[in-house]
């Protein structure tokens, strides 16, 4: 980080925007309900612990905590001090955490004293371990520092100010279909990443919307959490969670469930229809980025697959890529002009903007558009076609001198049938030249499919090694 004199970070927004409201109102449910008065007390306690470790106004603290009441109250406490908070996913390996700490140089680190039990837990009951380390104060006005998901390559370091976060909260307030005061969000999205953090936690606290997190991230654990309260309830998650819930053959009656909103990639048609049929509620789509938060939405499925820009944002199409008006770069350190230049954030997403309606079509990553023998192939189209086949559980399509697919099959003997169906559904130049059958597709911590080819090759090698072990 770059040293230099900067104005202090404004801590007042925590009390004014996030912790205001009636003391007795339940704002969080993590197993047990937590009202605003209790949350304020927890924030004050953690504020004392952070201050005792030397965290001051314009200090920098890294949080590496599982989803928990401890995470929430520690984050708010850091902002209340006027510090910059770096969020690190608790599922990172010690090597990855150490590398991030060396890169970001926080002065204080908060970890869990003990690792939480169970990989399917939605939240944990943990005690914070606060430690000081040599580091640097905040180099800029950013209250929040996040690492991008890393689904297509190395993570980027992204900073957002308190004003940025407040502006995004205000955008949510203006979007039709977003839960309102007295309603409830059951969030399945990681609070380390922008959808779960701002769309779930921060918006919920600010708008008087109760936020509940399932104890178990299983289909029945999620549905039990929905059923646990009478308030109108919206599920918030990513396509992985849609697939999880769509696998329930006969969901119980859930009169309080009003709909689900998913961030990330567009939900495949088959999964979309299966979810809507089983639950009888709307399934909305939200397009956003760590750099800016929510960008465009279609929460009622009326414009699918197009989306409507969120209030106050300007989106244009430039050379087949979506650009977003942003007065300054969101990246810490030197900025690649291919990512931000001249007041425009280059999303790296292929897309178009309808000049008459303003509706946005997201057509996949720019790097999903490839040329095969001089013919354009959209890898996203190939991937969706493959993944929609009844024999296929999941698929990722990449390009490495030729179109290649990594697939998880429902039956080990289905590969020939998959190739036959692809012959019927895709032109020859679009079809994968190689079909790699794997046991599991790598995903990011937020459930996004990873398209990094080294990770995909690792999944293939794991399957080959397992087969070799069985042979011996």
Residue 5 has what pLDDT? 38
Q: Are residues 382 and 343 in the same domain?
A: no
> Would you say residue 7 lies in a domain?
no
What mean pLDDT comes out for the span 441-468? 80
Domain count, the chain: 2
When pLDDT is cut at 50, 70 and 90, the band that residue 469 belongs to is: low
Residue 428: which CATH number? 3.30.300.30
Residue 367 is assigned to a structural domain of this protein = no
Q: What is the CATH number of the domain that holds 292?
A: 3.40.50.12780
Residues 232, 131, single domain; the answer is: yes
Structure tokens at 278: 């089983």
Going by C-alpha positions, the residue among 242, 151, 155 that lies closest to residue 441 is 151
CA distance linking residue 445 with residue 448, whole number of Å: 7
Q: Is 411 part of any domain? A: yes
Check whether residue 390 and residue 255 sit in a common domain: no
Model confidence band, residue 161 (pLDDT cutoffs 50, 70, 90): very high
Mean pLDDT is lowest, of 1-5, 98-102, 131-135, 294-298, for 1-5
**Domain membership flag for residue 100:** yes
Confidence of residue 445 (pLDDT cuts 50, 70, 90): low
Domain that holds residue 426: 373-471
The domain boundary residue, chosen from 331, 362, 393: 362
In this predicted structure, the answer to whether residue 207 has a pLDDT above a threshold of 50 is yes
Reported confidence tier of residue 467, pLDDT bands at 50, 70, 90: low
Could you read off the pLDDT of 170-182 as tens digits, one per residue? 999 999 999 999 9
Tell me: do 101 and 33 sit in the same domain.
Answer: yes
Last residue of a domain, one of 362, 384, 407: 362
Same domain, yes or no, for 386 and 420? yes
pLDDT of residue 461: 86
Last residue of a domain, one of 362, 386, 414: 362
For position 374, what pLDDT does the model report?
Answer: 67
Considering the domain architecture, whether residues 63 and 103 belong to the same structural domain is answered as yes
CA dihedral 135, 138, 142, 147 (to 10 degrees): -20
Mark whether 295 and 171 lie in a shared domain. yes
pLDDT value of residue 453? 85
Q: Residue 95: is its pLDDT beyond 90?
A: no
Whether 368 is in a domain gets the answer: no
The predicted structure's pLDDT at residue 149: 57
pLDDT, one tens digit per residue, over 332-381 is 988 888 899 999 999 989 899 999 999 999 987 777 778 787 677 888 88
348 and 398 together in one domain: no
Q: Kindly indicate the confidence band of residue 472, based on its pLDDT and cuts at 50, 70 and 90.
A: low
Handedness of CA 443, 445, 451, 452 (dihedral sign): negative
Residue 240 in domain? yes
The pTM score is: 0.82
The region of weakest confidence among 10-14, 60-64, 296-300, 328-332 is 10-14
Per residue in 396-418, pLDDT (tens digit) is 999 888 899 999 999 989 999 99
2 occurs within a structural domain? no
Residues 190 and 334 occupy one common structural domain? yes
User: Is 399 contained in some domain?
Assistant: yes
Q: What is the pLDDT of residue 153?
A: 45
- Tell me: do 285 and 408 sit in the same domain: no
- Please give the full DSSP string across 87-156, using - where no structure is assigned: E--TTS-HHHHHHHHHHH--SEEEEESSPPS-TTBS-B---EEEEE-S----SSS-SEEEE---SSSSPP
Whether residues 326 and 400 share a domain: the answer is no
Based on the domain organization, do 212 and 67 belong to the same domain?
yes
Q: What percent of the chain has pLDDT over 70?
A: 94
Determine the average pLDDT of the residues in 300-313. 94
């Amino acid at each position: 980080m770059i040293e230099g004199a900067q104005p202090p970070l404004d801590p007042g927004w925590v009390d004014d925007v996030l912790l205001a409201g009636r003391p007795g109102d339940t704002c969080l449910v993590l197993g047990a309900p937590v009202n605003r008065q209790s949350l304020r007390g927890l924030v004050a306690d953690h504020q004392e612990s952070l201050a005792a470790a030397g965290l001051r106004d314009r200090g920098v603290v890294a949080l590496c905590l599982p989803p928990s009441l401890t995470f929430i109250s520690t984050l708010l406490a850091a902002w209340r001090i006027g510090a910059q908070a770096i969020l690190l996913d608790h599922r990172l390996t010690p090597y990855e955490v150490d590398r991030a700490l060396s890169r970001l140089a926080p002065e204080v680190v908060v970890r869990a004293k003990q690792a939480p039990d169970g990989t399917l837990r939605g939240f944990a009951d943990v005690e914070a371990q606060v430690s000081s380390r040599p580091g640097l104060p905040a180099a800029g006005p950013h209250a929040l520092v996040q690492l991008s998901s890393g689904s297509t390559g190395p993570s980027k370091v992204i900073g957002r100010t308190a004003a940025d976060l407040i502006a995004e909260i205000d955008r949510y307030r203006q979007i039709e279909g977003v839960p309102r005061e007295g309603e409830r969000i059951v969030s399945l999205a990681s609070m380390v990443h922008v959808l779960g953090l701002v769309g779930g936690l921060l918006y919920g606290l600010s708008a008087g919307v109760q936020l509940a997190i399932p104890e178990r991230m299983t289909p029945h654990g999620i549905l039990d959490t929905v059923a646990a309260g009478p308030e109108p309830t919206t599920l918030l998650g990513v396509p992985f969670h849609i697939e999880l819930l769509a696998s329930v053959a006969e969901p119980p009656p859930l009169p309080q469930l009003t709909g689900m909103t998913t961030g990330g990639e567009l939900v495949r048609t088959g999964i979309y229809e299966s979810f809507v049929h089983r639950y009888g509620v709307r399934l909305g789509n939200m397009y956003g980025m760590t750099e800016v938060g929510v960008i465009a939405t279609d929460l009622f499925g009326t414009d699918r697959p197009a989306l409507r820009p969120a209030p106050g944002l300007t989106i244009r199409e430039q050379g087949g890529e979506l650009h977003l008006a942003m007065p300054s770069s969101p990246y810490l350190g030197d900025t690649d002009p291919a990512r931000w230049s001249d007041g425009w954030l280059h999303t790296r997403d292929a897309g178009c903007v309808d000049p008459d309606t303003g509706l946005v079509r997201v057509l996949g990553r720019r790097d999903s558009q490839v040329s095969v023998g001089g013919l354009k192939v959209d890898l996203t189209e190939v991937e969706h076609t493959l993944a929609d086949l009844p024999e296929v559980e999941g698929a990722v399509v990449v390009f490495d001198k030729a179109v290649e697919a990594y697939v998880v099959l429902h039956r080990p003997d289905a590969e020939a049938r998959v190739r036959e169906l692809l012959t019927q559904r895709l032109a020859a130049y679009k079809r994968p030249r190689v079909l790699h059958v794997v046991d599991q597709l790598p995903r990011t911590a937020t459930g996004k499919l990873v398209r990094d080819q080294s990770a995909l090759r690792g999944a293939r090698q794991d399957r080959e090694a397992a087969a070799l072990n069985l042979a011996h």
